[in-house]
Structure 1
Amino acid sequence: MHVMAPPRALRILHLEDSLTDYELAALTLRRAGIVQALVRVDTLEDFRDLTSQGTFDLILADYWLRSFTALDAWATLQELPHRPPFVLLSGAIGETAAVDAVRLGIADYLLKDDLVRLPIVIARTLEMEDARKAKEKAASELALSQQRLAELTEHLQTSIEKERAAIAREIHDDIGGSLAAIRFDVSWIARNTQDTETAAHARSALDMLQHAIGASQRIQMDLRPPILEQGLVAAVEWLARSFERRTGISTQLRGGMQHPMLDGDIRLVAYRTAQEALTNVSKYAQAQHVYIDFSDSGGLLTLEVTDDGVGMDAAQRHKPGSFGLRGLQERARTVGGWLDVSSRLGEGTSLTLCVPLDLHPSLPSKEE
């Protein structure tokens, strides 16, 4: 069988106490066309010194040496951050011992009686090593990509919240103020006009203005509820009462919090999670009851929103274009938490946010 030479010059460390066996291995590799430097050592100290320099592409090792075994040499390699592939080349190793060595992480083994296959074993070992390194590189690049995506998501969420806060302020200061001033003037007209038709139009305009003022206040609260500054429980309670009035769906808050004034980022993530969950209930669940449970016991914040609606299957949760739940999952990650969704058709849906509070140690004391 023809063996192609490896695409690079190989530097091989040969752990061997027999000069004859070393020379046979060197001859075999030269005949196979493998350009290499084969360095022999026969003591554990020399082996440790040379491998610590990190200059070898591969290690060949006899199993039994004078005062130690190849497994002792393998153990010393575990201290290195980058280990070259390790191949046993021995005349005194049983099948069971060889298999056990491979299970430890040794790349391959070959009997000295079958030395002609050494170039094949080395080529195969290097191919596997290249594949392993490529896999590690791909995993590292994927992890880096995921980290960058998480950082981008956090940046976008922060930017969105800042923009929401700015819009809420503009609605309050400009639109809200203008509507209040117009309402004052129209109310004056309604009180002072002697024309019944004009008075009727003024009262109708007042009703519309009151509706617009209420809508602007609701939009402000949705964008950035000031009540969040009073704590998570107060904010979600307001959200639940508003949801119940708007939809007619019975909404109950249960459980308790030892630290209602959590870190601001956690409060915001929990609030947005509850807000999105209630929005989904109103759109899709066809529910009669919703339950919101709080807990921060055991150093873990848990917020669970459960409904008794129609539920959904896995395909609905992951359908293309469905970004609500994915957005909540990314939000949860920004504070070191996670999101779990449990649902079955006809049995309702439960959405649970969990955030380890030990990642945010600067918790204020319990509110009086």
Structure 2
Amino acid sequence: MRRIRALFSSITTRLVFSQVLVAAIASIIGSLFIVLLLFIGIQNITVDQYQGTAIMGVTYWLLGTPDGQPMEPSAFSPAEGFFVVATKEGEVLFTHGDTTCRAKMQLKECAPDLAVLPPGEHLYDKDGKRWVESVIDVITGQRAFARIGIPRAPELSLLIPGFQIYGTGKFTLAVAAAMAIIAIPVGLVLSLLTVRPLARRIGNITRTSKQFANGDFTARVHDTTPDKAGELARQFDDMADTLQQNVSVLRDMAQRNADLARQVEQVAIQAERVRLSRDLHDAIAQRLFSLSVSTSTLPDLIARDQAQGVQQAKAIASLAEQTLLDLRALLVELRPTSVLQRGLNEAMETLCDEWQNVHRVSADYSAMLTGKYVPTSVEDVIFRVTQEALSNIAKHANASSVHVSLVEAPRKITLSVTDNGPGFDPDTATKTGKFGLLGMRERAQSVGGTLVIESDTDRGTTVRMILPLDRDFDPLSPPEVNGTQSNSLS
């Protein structure tokens, strides 16, 4: 059964079968039409012949044929019926064939239906048979009558001069079967000669399209035949040329994006180094210098004034503790990669906990995540922006509580960092380049997202970032650089 289905699923088999079927049906219909025309023609010829048999009755009478003899079928007499010759007054002069009339009888008594017939020919059906009645006036004053019986098809058995047909119904079936038997092999051969080349060309188009779909952008059909299949092949080749050009352009664009991403990464790394250098200088180096100066003068101060020396020692201890806290904060900022290896949600929790322990400010974290895959580049941007926002709060907000939330929707993920500090003017801060706001916005844009800042002197500040999650994987996208996928700034 599977082999039969596979055989009939082939376009070659279907086309051959359809053409053979059409040829067989056409031959049968044609043979039936020919036989029908032949039958009608023969029937019309027969009627014309029997309409003139009344004249033969007159001929028999003039030749002196005995009255009342039965009719013998021949080429010139019908197989069933009779002749009657009578005067115009209705006296029978001569009969021949199957009739009750005899010479010297009155026609209206022996055949009343003939007595009322006008001259001419009449065709009618009676008792399951077809009859021809012919009435003619003879020049000598007599009237000749003829009633001829014609059997119906399919049991037609007519005797015509030089031609006979017996059993027209069976003959018709035989002709139709013979025509079909002849048409089927002829149609099979002709269809194979016409269908196989077409099927081969269509198969070539199919194979080429599969090669193109599998990445062979040089595959072409190369069919120049001036017909519909050739036109389809040429359209496919034109489409393939256009797609190959587009793929080449996309690859060039992807390479340029990759180069641009590397440049952006280098700029970001350099900016990060500058920021770390500045933070180390402002927060660590200056305090270490102060500690060095204070500790170097501490022995002399204790020798001169012990109480003042003890106070100086306490100040040195406090400064050392603050320096340690600042150093821990910098270490937290230098650990995103190792933290992100544990997952975005855990990394965010760890970041908020460590920031809270370092800066002694309440930092609550909440998340609504589906657990689906989030691109590494998006995770890195979320972590970095959160890190920068918390750093800005520690330096400038003078807040007592912070809330960090992460909400994932079907096609986006939203980060919100809110504090209860006094607030500031976001436009002024962005123009002056303070608080790292420009860097956070650029990070969001690098993955197709947006970042807005809402700040009010009465309600604090909220940094809200929305990143898309509906970007499909593209094999022509820029390659990964240092473990993360590079993205050009939008």
Same-fold call, TM > 0.5? no
Query: Could you say which TM-score interval applies, normalised by the shorter chain?
Result: 0.3 to 0.5
TM-score w.r.t. the length of structure 1 is 0.40
TM-score w.r.t. the length of structure 2 is 0.32
